[in-house]
Structure 1
Amino acid sequence: MNAVSSFFLKLLLSVSLILSLSPSAFAEPPNLSIVKNEIKTYHDSGIYNQELTQAIARAHHYIMAQVKANDHQAIKQKLAIVLDIDETSLSNYDDIIKNDFTADRQAIHQQILKARAPAIKPMLALYKDAIEHGVKVFFVTGRNHSELKATETNLLKAGYKHWSGLYVRPDNYQQQSIVPFKAHARELITKKGYTIIATIGDQYSDLMGGFAKKEFKLPNPFYFLP
């Protein structure tokens, strides 16, 4: 290595070291109170509902296109869709704000047992239209089995009727992620002879793991579930 090459190599290493120790590498995260207020503004301004409605409309259009295509097949498939519940079919926004985004599992459990979450209206419209066109609807949720009865009650009160299946997480579920449970539930549905044309959820973990032709992610800035 000649002197010039050695010089530039040392210079490059020095710059890399400086950059790695620069303040930007340890930037202060956004202030939590400010972020919470931004999320509230995002919801209360109507932008959240607008983006949510647009995402559901895309799923709705796709599902109806799949129904139309299936109607023209000589051998028709048994079509199904899979829906998550919280922040997909039912809204918990009032409780989220009441809890200041920080409720623990026991508090959430008590809120679920009250069975009072309202429907997300564009999803309810999609749900009813899918059923009217012969598509079977299955709910697959991270709610626990101990919350099954309250969940059924809440769905019915919110206007969701005639679903074909409701899969809840076993109370003894040990996985850190909900993905294995939800993927397995979709697998069980396909083993019943259904083609899952769409799975819709507000978390990426609602959608991962396969066994669906297409996934639709809805906006949710309120919380993250692995």
Structure 2
Amino acid sequence: MRKSLRAAAIAASCAVAGAALYGAGAATAGQSTANSTHEPYNIGLLVKDIDTYYGTTLDSNGVYQASPASPYAKDLARIDADAKRYIDKAVHKAHHRGEKPAVVFDIDDTLLLSLDYEKRNNYTYNSATWAAYVNRADRPAVFGSPELVQYAEKKGVEVFYNSGLSEAQRSAAVENLKKVGADVNLDADHMFLKDKDHPPSYLSDCATPGTWNCTTVQYKSGTRKHIEDDLGYDIVANFGDQYSDLDGGYADRTYKLPNPTYFVS
């Protein structure tokens, strides 16, 4: 479930420190949804700060885009550069140990940017408008992420996707990922989406057919556990824009991509 918790503390910390690596031996930006006894940050100023961070502009088609020269783009470039260096080392170690290395990517705002939806909906969420937006399959790429997918594949790393999108949105997700150049392992064996009607057996602790009680962390960490324990891979890196994409273990290293526009618990 996606929650519109647009707290100023969350957005401000992500905008300033969203590029920090989140994982073993890495700095991490604090992210809290606790109520404050102090006056919150002015929401009008916060929106301006978000626009400045993304370098938000309207393109010729009337779509809100992030600027490749923005602080957001620069933060992503630093993450990508570190991830590539790490993948090089991790692949060498994995092959030396006879392991099968893998990487896992979230999709929304990790590979496909949703800035236009957020701006047009005043940073709020509606399931119907969100579904219509996803099904258009025309979101732009998160800067550098499709190239990182391709880089991992060329290094001999198996690429998986672990997304909160629903099974009904699979075809749109595949189409959109192909458009932005993340055309790697887009089959059902590598792209894990929420199937609430027919949840997989490895999520039986929190989901049964027709009943879904999994939190985001349970769903995503349970899927990573399946990739490692059942499919036999070692997840060397896990990429996501939410802490709930990353918590729960089953990854050697995690990378938190910046996203000051919403929070998913």
> Which TM-score band applies after superposition, normalised by the shorter structure?
0.7 to 0.9
- Unpaired segments of 5 or more residues in structure 2? 1-35, 56-68, 198-210
| Counterpart in the other structure of 1:46 | 70
Change (3 A) 1:162 1:48: closer
| Counterpart in the other structure of 1:29 | 40
Which AA in structure 1 matches 2:143? K
SS in 1 for 2:192: strand
Distance 1:91 1:60 in 2: 21
Coordinate RMSD, CA, aligned: 1.7
Change (3 A) 1:48 1:162: closer
Change (3 A) 1:26 1:189: closer
Distance 2:184 2:239 in 1: 18
Map 1:29-108 to 2 at 5 A: 29-44=40-55, 46-71=70-95, 73=96, 75-108=97-130
SS in 2 for 1:54: helix
| 2:231 equivalent among 189, 192, 215 | 192
SS in 2 for 1:91: coil
- Residue 29 of structure 1 and its aligned partner are, at CA, apart by 0.9
Q: Aligned pair 1:126/2:151, yes or no?
A: no
How many aligned positions are there? Answer: 200
Per-residue displacement from partner, 1:143-179 (whole Å, max 9, x unpaired)? 1111111111111121112326000112356347311
| 2:190 equivalent among 161, 165, 173 | 165
Could you state the TM-score of these two structures normalised by the residue count of structure 1? 0.83
| Counterpart in the other structure of 1:141 | 163
Could you state the TM-score of these two structures normalised by the residue count of structure 2? 0.71
- Residue 56 of structure 1 and its aligned partner are, at CA, apart by 2.3
Distance 2:49 2:214 in 1: 29
**Residues 147 and 182 of structure 2 are in contact (CA less than 8 Å); yes or no, is this contact kept in structure 1?**
no
| Counterpart in the other structure of 1:6 | none
Greater Cα offset, 123-132 or 161-170: 161-170
Greater share of helix: 1
| Counterpart in the other structure of 1:21 | none
Q: Percent identity?
A: 32
Q: Aligned pair 1:205/2:244, yes or no?
A: yes
Instruction: Specify which structure has the bigger relative contact order, considering alpha-carbon pairs within 8 angstroms and separated by 6 or more residues.
Output: 2
Map 1:109-124 to 2 at 5 A: 109-124=131-146
Which AA in structure 2 matches 1:167? F
**Residues 199 and 207 of structure 1 are in contact (CA less than 8 Å); yes or no, is this contact kept in structure 2?**
yes
| Counterpart in the other structure of 1:179 | 217
Per-residue displacement from partner, 1:3-39 (whole Å, max 9, x unpaired)? xxxxxxxxxxxxxxxxxxxxxx732111112111111
Distance 2:236 2:70 in 1: 30
Distance 2:46 2:215 in 1: 25
Distance 1:93 1:109 in 2: 15
- Unpaired segments of 5 or more residues in structure 1? 1-24
Which AA in structure 2 matches 1:183? S
Distance 1:207 1:118 in 2: 23
Which AA in structure 2 matches 1:32? I
Distance 1:41 1:199 in 2: 28
Per-residue displacement from partner, 1:44-79 (whole Å, max 9, x unpaired)? 0701111122122222211111112334x1x52111
